[in-house]
Structure 1
Amino acid sequence: MLRAVDQGPCVVVCSTCRVSADAREDEQGRRGGALLAEALREARGDDPAIAGIAVEEMPCLFACSRHCVVQIRAPGRIGYVLGDFAPDGEAARAILDYAALHAASDHGQVPYRQWPAGVKGHFITRTPPEGFVVA
């Protein structure tokens, strides 16, 4: 059931997410989460600022009332679940830019003024890192 992955900074994409609030799949029958994962990998490319952010997929993050949901995580840092993205390059770049800021932060808290515009309004939850709670 579980598959081991690198424990570094990562964006985990719900591969089975809807493509939008109104549609399960696009015209070719592809799910939004799979499209977003593809867009994240393409956006990451060879850019050294975000190259260290892994992109992983897993079926269902249990945020099914939302669409195109991701988890941003890094060791020893608060994790975040975000959703309601368009499965495109613009959203992918904003997610990766935030993930890089998150990974570079001490505890996973990125000052709001540094957030890319494309992630504002997309946060669903935050989760404490293993062995900690936020004070």
Structure 2
Amino acid sequence: MLKPVEDGPAIVACNTCRHSVALREDAEGVRGGARLVEALRAVQAKDARYAGVAVQEMPCLFACNEHCTVHLRAPGKVGYVLGRFTPDADAAQAILDYAVHYAASEHGRVPFKEWPQGVKGHFLVRTPPPGFVAE
């Protein structure tokens, strides 16, 4: 049930998410989450700034009402679940841009002024790292 992955800064994308509240799959029968994973990997491949953040995927983050969700995590840092994205290159770039700031932060807190516009309004949940709670 669990698959080992590298334990570093990562965007874990739900590959089974819907495209939107109303649309599960696109005309080719592909889920929104799978399209978002494709977009994340395509944008990441074009810019070396994103090399320090892994793009990982798994089925169902259990945020089905929030379509196209990702979990941003890193050891010893507060994690975040973001959702309600359009599965395209613009969303992927905003997520990756935020992830770069997140990976460089001490505890996972990124000053609001550094947030890309494309992630504002998409935060759903903040999660503490194992063995900690946030102050």
The TM-score with structure 1 as length reference comes to 0.98
Report matched runs for 1:51-62 at 5 Å. 51-62=51-62
For each residue in 1:61-80, what CA deviation from the matched residue of structure 2 results, as whole angstroms up to 9, or x when unmatched?
00011100000011110000
Amino acid at match of 2:13: V
Residue 34 of structure 1 pairs with residue 26 of structure 2: no
Deviation per CA, 1:86-128, whole angstroms, max 9, x where unpaired? 0000000000010110010000000001000000000000000
The separation in 1 between residues aligned to 2:61 and 2:46, in whole angstroms, is 28
- Give the paired residue count: 135
Higher helix share: 2
Query: Residue 12 of structure 1 corresponds to which residue in structure 2?
Result: 12
**Using the alignment, how far apart are the partners of 1:13 and 1:46 within structure 2?**
19
Segments of 4+ in structure 1 off by > 2 A?
none
Shift of 1:46: 4.3
Distance across 2 between alignment mates of 1:91 and 1:46: 15
Q: Write out per-residue CA displacement over residues 35-93 of structure 1, whole angstroms, 9 at most, x where no aligned residue.
A: 00000000001422111111111110000111000000111100000000000000000
> 2:49 matched to which residue of 1?
49
Amino acid aligned to 2:22? D
Q: Which runs of 5+ in 2 are unaligned?
A: none
Secondary structure in 1 matching 2:50? coil
- For the pair 1:76 / 2:102, whether they are aligned, the reply is no
Measure the CA separation in 1 of the matches of 2:48 and 2:27: 34
Alpha-carbon distance in 2 for matches of 1:122, 1:56: 19
Which letter does structure 2 place at the counterpart of 1:130?
A: P
Q: How far apart are residue 21 of structure 1 and its match? A: 1.6
My pick for the range that moved more, 42-51 or 120-129, is: 42-51
With structure 2 as the length reference, what TM-score do the two structures score? 0.98
Structure 2 counterpart of 1:123, one-letter code: F
Structure 1: give runs of 5+ residues left out of the alignment: none
In structure 1, what is the Cα distance between the partners aligned to 2:46 and 2:130?
A: 31
Percent of aligned pairs sharing the same letter: 61
SS at structure 1 position matched to 2:124: strand
- Structure-2 separation of matches of 1:86 and 1:60: 17
CA RMSD of aligned residues (A): 0.7
State the AA in 1 paired with 2:72: I
Question: CA–CA distance in 2 between the matches of 1:46 and 1:65?
Answer: 31
